[in-house]
Chain A
Amino acid sequence: MCRTAVALALCGLCSAAPGLRAQAGESADARDQRLLARAESLDAGRQAAHAAAEARYRIGWLAHVVERHGLAIVVPAAAPDSSVRELADSASELLDEFGAIPQSFRASLVVVWPHADTAPVFSAGQYAGRRRVIILSPIVVLGADYSSERPPRSGSMLVGSVAELGRTAAGAVLRSYAKTLDDQWRAWLPDEYGLRSRTAGGEGRPWSMFAPGSSISGRGCLSGKASSCRLWFGLDDDADPYGSRYGAADLRALYQNMWLHNNHRNGRACLAGSDSACVAFAREIGQPLPVPADGGARRSLVRAVHDLRGAPALAAALADTTGSIGQRLARATGVSEDSLVLEWRRLVLGQGSALQSRAGGKEAVPALLFAGVLLLAAAGSGRWH
């Protein structure tokens, strides 16, 4: 019995062996082909899915134009509509508050954010002839789920706050307007000139506005000398900006921390103690900037003119092409350049409020009078209690 079972098992194995041999021989090719076909099928499916996702992705980047209050903004379609409208409102509000740029100029622009496919927008239609103001920073962040059935538009969000992006747009409009002005204004105006400050104020005085270590004119302006303020702001057409606006000691202190002087005869002579060489070296390399006041200070001057004299005065100054910057501001505002810079200084030191006074005779009088009146009242009271 046992021998029979073993014999039957052996026969079964022998009969199956040819089949196995046949299958092994077949899978070496057919299996490879089968697997290859499967892989190609899967790859085709993956590519189709990727293409569909790409198509949905590209839809998200189609240009979408939002026009609010005369300002046209082109953003990717992926940007949320309500946020873009708020952004446009924010930019328009800032530009309206500034008020020194003609409305017609704003209407001649289109502010364009990157990655938007703008060809259809500018090829024909109402925006065809408009000037493009390109903003280099991104505006949207897409969600990672490209395979979602929903279009990417609903999964995207803005980079940064609406207020900040609105400010970026307004700043771009201002820069574009500055490019239409003459050489003097283009060289003098800083970025975001004239826009309302982000913060209403703060504690402490804007000491850094004057950067007193950098120039003798800055220190003089801080001390209250109008002529120094004019030099510091570069308001006059100085034939020799470096000679008149910087002291040799200031230039020397600056160049000591720079490597540029190593290869310049004037630079080495300046550090060795020659004052004239310092000025000559400054003219040679164009460092520091001819206007000692930095962008923040010049921005605050533009803002001060706007706040103290009104947007029309500032608009008139920007449109003026005759004379120095100081003369243009003086003509437009109706005050002398000295008065203008002293008003600015008072505004900066007082942080927008009236400059706080030091205690003196004028302040002592009301206090002493009041104390005297109270003493009389106390002494004249009718009875003890």
Chain B
Amino acid sequence: MFRQILRAQWLAARLAVVILGVLAFAAPLLAVFWGGDLRSAGSDQVAYWLQGSERIAALLPYLALLVGVAAGFLAWSPDHAGRHVYALSLPVSRARFVALRFGAGAVITAVPALALLVGAIVASLSVSLPEGLHAYPAQLTLRFLLASLTLYAIIFALSISTKRAQLLTAGAIGGVILADLLLAAWDVHFSVTAETLVLLTTWPGPLSILAGAWTLFDV
């Protein structure tokens, strides 16, 4: 049954996944687009090259976000369109069906990650690095995959949640923003949003995978 669900989800998400996969493959190659013979380069040249590589790397978290959001929305979009008639007609429990859907979506998020891995390996092989610099294609791909999976899980859960849960989530986000506005109006130098983001993105926060090193080449 998993194969059928995977196929159904792939048909719904293939266009977005292919486009994002191409982007993920191309991103590491952009870092080495202007050449990569650094073994004999001066330290200034290496510094500029590393800066360019970091600029490209800054795009990858956003790409992971797109992958997660696209996979999460498209996991349930056929069911939303068909008013869940297909799902309700299946002889499986809701929990099992949701798990199968989640698994299928997780497999789909792995496609752009795989494309990123291939691109990173090609970029790593095409450049000669000076001593002290290394390429980290596997670590970069793992971070990308985990970030996509985390964001996919968030959007997946929000998509299937009840209206009440969605309203509670939106209310919580709105409440945090409102608290910040009120504190700013009272000239209090404390930001609830900033503190919340710090908690979420600092280990062991759930979004800590989005922080950290996204560069393919580093010391």
Binding site for B on A (CB under 8 A): 203-208, 210-213, 219, 222-223, 349, 356-360, 362-371, 374-375, 377-385
Q: A212-B132, A222-B132, A357-B213 are in contact. List 6 more A-B contacts (CB 8 A).
A: A203-B51, A207-B46, A208-B44, A211-B43, A360-B142, A363-B203
Does residue B219 face the partner (Cβ distance < 8 Å to A)? yes
Question: Contact between A367 and B146 (Cβ–Cβ < 8 Å)?
Answer: yes
Question: Contact between B149 and A359 (Cβ–Cβ < 8 Å)?
Answer: no
Q: In chain B, what residue has the closest Cβ to A357?
A: B212
Q: In chain B, what residue has the closest Cβ to A361?
A: B142
Name the residue in A219, A222, A359, A371 with the highest tally of chain B Cβ atoms < 10 Å from its Cβ.
A359
How far is A367 from B148 in the complex, measured between Cα atoms in Å?
A: 10
Q: Mark B132-168, 1 if CB is under 8 A from A, else 0.
A: 1000100110110011011011101100111101000
Minimum CB–CB distance for A276 against chain B, Å: 24
Question: Contact between A382 and B140 (Cβ–Cβ < 8 Å)?
Answer: no
How far is A380 from B99 in the complex, measured between Cα atoms in Å?
A: 11
Q: List 17 A-B contacts (CB under 8 A).
A: A204-B47, A204-B50, A204-B51, A205-B50, A206-B47, A207-B50, A208-B44, A208-B47, A212-B46, A349-B219, A359-B143, A359-B213, A364-B209, A367-B147, A367-B208, A374-B156, A375-B102
Minimum CB–CB distance for A253 against chain B, Å: 10
| Chain B residues whose C-beta falls within 8 Å of the C-beta of A208 in the assembled complex | 43-44, 46-47
Give the contacting residue for B208; candidates A219, A358, A366; CB below 8 A.
Answer: A366
Minimum CB–CB distance for A341 against chain B, Å: 15
| Chain B residues whose C-beta falls within 8 Å of the C-beta of A382 in the assembled complex | 162
Minimum CB–CB distance for B18 against chain A, Å: 24
| Chain B residues whose C-beta falls within 8 Å of the C-beta of A222 in the assembled complex | 131-132, 219
Q: Tell me the number of A-to-B contacts counted with CB atoms below 8 Å.
A: 133
Question: Contact between B213 and A363 (Cβ–Cβ < 8 Å)?
Answer: no
| Chain A residues whose C-beta falls within 8 Å of the C-beta of B88 in the assembled complex | 384
Q: In chain A, what residue has the closest Cβ to B161?
A: A381
Question: Contact between A381 and B147 (Cβ–Cβ < 8 Å)?
Answer: no
Interface residues of B in 2-42 (CB under 8 A from A): 42
Give the contacting residue for A384; candidates B54, B84, B208; CB below 8 A.
Answer: B84
Question: Contact between A213 and B213 (Cβ–Cβ < 8 Å)?
Answer: no
Question: Contact between B102 and A212 (Cβ–Cβ < 8 Å)?
Answer: no
Question: Contact between B146 and A363 (Cβ–Cβ < 8 Å)?
Answer: yes
Give the contacting residue for B209; candidates A204, A207, A363, A374; CB below 8 A.
Answer: A363
Q: In chain B, what residue has the closest Cβ to A214?
A: B43
Question: Contact between A364 and B146 (Cβ–Cβ < 8 Å)?
Answer: yes
Minimum CB–CB distance for A360 against chain B, Å: 7
Query: Which 10 pairs, one residue from A and one from B, show the smallest C-beta to C-beta distance?
Result: A204-B51, A359-B143, A370-B206, A222-B132, A371-B153, A356-B213, A374-B157, A379-B95, A379-B98, A207-B47
Known: A208-B43, A359-B212. A366 touches B162 (CB 8 A): no
B-side interface size class = 35 or more
Question: Contact between B212 and A213 (Cβ–Cβ < 8 Å)?
Answer: no
Question: Contact between B47 and A377 (Cβ–Cβ < 8 Å)?
Answer: no
| Chain A residues whose C-beta falls within 8 Å of the C-beta of B143 in the assembled complex | 358-359, 363
| Chain A residues whose C-beta falls within 8 Å of the C-beta of B131 in the assembled complex | 212, 219, 222-223
Minimum CB–CB distance for B100 against chain A, Å: 10
Minimum CB–CB distance for A210 against chain B, Å: 7
Q: Mark B60-75, 1 if CB is under 8 A from A, else 0.
A: 0000000000000000
Question: Contact between A213 and B42 (Cβ–Cβ < 8 Å)?
Answer: yes
Known: A204-B47, A210-B132, A222-B132. A375 touches B208 (CB 8 A): no
Question: Contact between B147 and A379 (Cβ–Cβ < 8 Å)?
Answer: no
Minimum CB–CB distance for A349 against chain B, Å: 6
Minimum CB–CB distance for B127 against chain A, Å: 15
Give the contacting residue for B160; candidates A356, A368, A381; CB below 8 A.
Answer: A381
Interface residues of B in 157-212 (CB under 8 A from A): 157, 160-163, 165, 203-206, 208-209, 211-212
| Chain A residues whose C-beta falls within 8 Å of the C-beta of B54 in the assembled complex | 203-205
Does residue B78 face the partner (Cβ distance < 8 Å to A)? no
| Chain A residues whose C-beta falls within 8 Å of the C-beta of B213 in the assembled complex | 356-359
Minimum CB–CB distance for B65 against chain A, Å: 14
Question: Contact between A374 and B154 (Cβ–Cβ < 8 Å)?
Answer: yes
Minimum CB–CB distance for A343 against chain B, Å: 16
Question: Contact between A358 and B139 (Cβ–Cβ < 8 Å)?
Answer: yes
| Chain A residues whose C-beta falls within 8 Å of the C-beta of B150 in the assembled complex | 367, 370-371
